[in-house]
Structure formats: C-alpha cells, structure tokens
Amino acid sequence: MRIAVVGKGGAGKSVVAGTMARLLARGGDKVLALDSDPIPGLAISLGLGPLDTPMLLDAVEKDDNGRWRLKKGIGAARAVQRYSLVGPDGVRLLQFGKTTASGLKDFMGSVNGFYQVVHRLARDDSLSGWTIVGDLPAGPRQTAFDWVPYADKLVLVVEPTWQSILTARRIARISRQRSGVEVVAFGNKLREDGDTDLIEERLGERLGGSLPFDPLVAEADAHGKALIDHAPDSPAVHAIEHLIDAISRRKVSA
Ligand SMILES: Nc1ncnc2c1ncn2[C@@H]1O[C@H](COP(=O)(O)OP(=O)(O)O)[C@@H](O)[C@H]1O
Ligand SMILES: [Mg+2]
C-alpha cells in the first residue's frame, strides 16, 4: 500500500498519517513514513516528538550549475536506510525538515534531495515490499507539482466545514488528473449524525470512512504524544483501524 494523506491545514492529516503508519507496522508491515510538510506534525504523531532535522542534507551536493543533486550512489533504498530515523513500532521516518529561523539555504538541499528520493522511490523496485504513508502540507500544491509520484492512493481528509470541503474538492480534482491514483475521502472531526451527509453532498462524492471528533486526539497533541501511545483505545484510533481495513479492501477489489 502506498498512501499519501492530503487535505486542508488542520484537517487531521498528520494524526491520520502517523496513526495509520503505527497501526500498519504493528500489523507486520515494513513502513516508511514520508513527511514533506515544512510545518511540524508527522514526527509527533508517530511518537518521535518534535523533530526539525533536515534529514537529507548529507545526501546532496551541488552540481556545476549550482543545482542540488543526490550524491553518487544514493538511490531511494540507500537514502532511506542511511538517513531515515527508526521510531516506535519500527516505523521509519524520512522528512525534509522543518522551516526554522536559521539555515534556510541548507534546508533547501534537503528539500531538493527529498523530491528526488520520492521520484526514485516511485521508479525503482528496491523498496517494493514496503508500505508507504506520506504526510503532505495543506492544500493542493504538492499534489499538483508531483511530490507524491509514489502514491497509488490519496487519502483526502475532510472536516465538515465549507473551507475544508472546498479545499478537498480542489485537491480531488487536481489529483484525479494524475492517472492511476485513487482518491479516498475520509471525514474527520464528525460531531453530529448529519455530518457525513453534509460532507458527501458538498464534496460531491461518498466518504470511504470517517473519524469522530475525539477530545483524546487534542489531548495527545497537547502532550506532544502520538495518539496511539496516549490513548490506544480511543474512538479515533479504532476509527483509523477501520479506515485501514476500508482502503485495503478497496485495493483487493480494484
Ligand atoms: N478526530 C479528531 N478529534 C479531535 N481533534 C482532532 C481530530 N483530528 C485532529 N484533531 C486535532 O486537530 C488539529 C490538527 O490536526 P493535524 O493532524 O495536525 O492536522 P493537519 O496535519 O491536517 O494540519 C490538532 O490539534 C489535532 O489534535
Ligand atoms: Mg500536519
């Protein structure tokens, strides 16, 4: 399974991506979590705590034209093996780093390296046995600019708010222009019975699953902990288990 999680800012992408990665790893998958959001999120949801590190700085160099490229001998598998960090349940995290006040110039090397790694990942077979879960920044930008060539499924996280639904509609439209990618919409922070209908009607498509609003999610966040560590039996974790079932079933039936 190769998933990327998309949606509006604050929709719950990082919580969904991080918890999915942990659950899939517990189920026996080798899981690579990919974070291409310059804003913190996935490392915390995975249980690694806040982590700014631009992981691919040592993987890149500048060519004669001043463009960043991966150093000789660094393909997708080696980049993952050498530069990713192993977290709880054995999930490996590769991130391009977080924007901080200092060092944007160097940080760009890691960003460029990351873009090249995900493209190699999509092309070569060396990680074919791995499950990939990508966490993307808010909005349709990265989907439009081909940051997720590895994904065969886009999980579109949608809250029952107009802004979230309008963003989701744009992302769904842009993503479907890429052939071969299946877009599955998940409702999040649902509070009322009518919320599923409301999202489906305004989004113009059926939801592949949904998560309730769950105060334990915000509580985990406030403690800087992974949801699955803070509240393993919470309604949200159980809902994410169902989401994994739902999308793996879709894979079989596809
Ligand atoms: N199902 C939920 N119930 C309650 N709060 C949620 C839920 N999902 C996410 N949140 C909260 O919403 C905020 C945004 O979640 P996050 O995963 O960081 O979103 P994104 O990565 O899309 O920006 C966080 O404070 C998180 O705790
Ligand atoms: Mg996030």
Distance (Å) of CA 130 to CA 14, 92, 121: 20, 10, 10
Map 147-207 to HEC letters.
Answer: CCCCCCEEEEEECCCHHHHHHHHHHHHHHHCCCCCEEEEEEEEECCCCHHHHHHHHHCCCC
Atom of ligand 1 nearest to the CA of 221: 27
Helix ranges (H only) for the chain are 13-26, 42-46, 76-83, 104-123, 141-144, 162-176, 195-203, 215-222, 227-230, 235-253
Q: Ligand 1 in contact with 7 (CB < 6 A)?
A: yes
Question: Per-domain residue ranges for the chain?
Answer: 2-253
Please give the Cα distance from 231 to 104 (Å, whole number): 36
Q: Ligand 1 in contact with 95 (CB < 6 A)?
A: no
Tens digit of pLDDT per residue, the chain (254 long)? 999 999 999 999 999 999 999 999 999 999 999 999 998 999 999 999 999 999 999 999 999 999 999 999 999 999 999 999 999 999 999 999 988 766 666 789 999 999 999 999 988 888 889 999 999 999 888 988 889 999 999 999 999 999 999 999 999 999 888 777 899 999 999 999 999 999 999 999 999 999 999 999 999 999 999 999 999 999 999 999 999 999 987 654 43
Atom of ligand 1 nearest to the CA of 189: 1
The model carries a pTM of 0.95
Nearest-CA residue for ligand 1 atom 25 is: 218
Atom of ligand 1 nearest to the CA of 212: 1
Nearest-CA residue for ligand 1 atom 8 is: 12
Q: Which CATH architecture has domain 2-253?
A: 3-Layer(aba) Sandwich (3.40)
Which ligand minimizes its atom distance to the CA of 243?
1
